């Protein structure tokens, strides 16, 4: 199964069309940390991370992980061994905090861009996550909670995402 990012406002899975938002500066094949661009290409997806204190475990065929208060995702170019990996929050390492006050990361799926052997500074923390307002992201793809929950019922661990 393929998740297709048709344009900056439309994600397609089978016959379902979802409104979305992407990186503030559009899409690119030459992603760099902090450029606010969504990386073009075809990628696998990772597990579903969710806030169990705010939501029940969603219906999905993906493996699920509960987000803990100390969970972060490293975007620090000075720590190549941790770069673009889930970490325990550490004030010495720059990171995206997964346990946020807002609801953006109540549901998130890492897109496996620059993932298995991450190269610094080619970009990190590229997620499918939630939005309430469809404002442009830092490079992620954001959906409404309702649409994200539908998406979770459609996809499985071998689903790919095509961003072109």
- Over residues 16-52, the pLDDT tens digits come to 999 999 999 999 999 999 999 999 999 999 999 999 9
Residue span of the structural domain in which 14 resides: 2-163
Position 27 scores a pLDDT of 98
Do residues 35 and 28 make contact, with C-beta atoms less than 8 angstroms apart? yes
In the chain, the number of structural domains is 1
Pairing of strands 107-110, 127-130: antiparallel
- Cα 48 to Cα 78: distance, rounded to the nearest angstrom: 27
Q: What is the pTM of this model?
A: 0.96
- In the chain, the percentage of residues whose pLDDT exceeds 70 is 100
- Over residues 123-143, the pLDDT tens digits come to 999 999 999 999 999 999 999
pLDDT at 90 over 90: no
pLDDT-derived band at 157, boundaries 50, 70, 90? very high
Position 38 scores a pLDDT of 98
The shares of helix, strand and coil residues in the chain, as percent rounded to the nearest 5, are: 5, 35, 60
Q: Which CATH number is 111's domain given?
A: 2.40.440.10
* Mean pLDDT of all residues belonging to the chain: 97
pLDDT-derived band at 113, boundaries 50, 70, 90? very high
Mean pLDDT score, 1-23: 96
């Amino acid at each position: 199964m393929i998740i297709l990012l048709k344009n900056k406002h439309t994600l397609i899975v089978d016959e379902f069309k979802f409104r979305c938002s992407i990186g503030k500066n559009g899409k690119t094949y030459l992603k760099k940390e902090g450029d606010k661009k969504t990386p073009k290409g075809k990628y696998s997806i990772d597990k579903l991370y969710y806030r169990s204190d705010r939501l029940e475990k969603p219906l999905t065929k993906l493996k699920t992980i509960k987000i803990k208060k100390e969970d972060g995702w490293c975007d620090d170019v000075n720590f190549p061994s941790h770069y673009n990996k889930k970490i325990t929050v550490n004030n010495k390492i720059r990171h995206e905090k997964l346990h946020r006050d807002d609801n953006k990361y109540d549901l998130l799926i890492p897109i496996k861009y620059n993932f298995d052997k991450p190269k610094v500074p080619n970009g990190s923390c590229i997620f499918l996550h939630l939005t309430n307002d469809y404002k442009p992201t830092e490079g992620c793809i954001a959906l409404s909670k309702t649409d994200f929950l539908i998406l979770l019922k459609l996809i499985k661990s071998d689903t790919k995402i095509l961003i072109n």
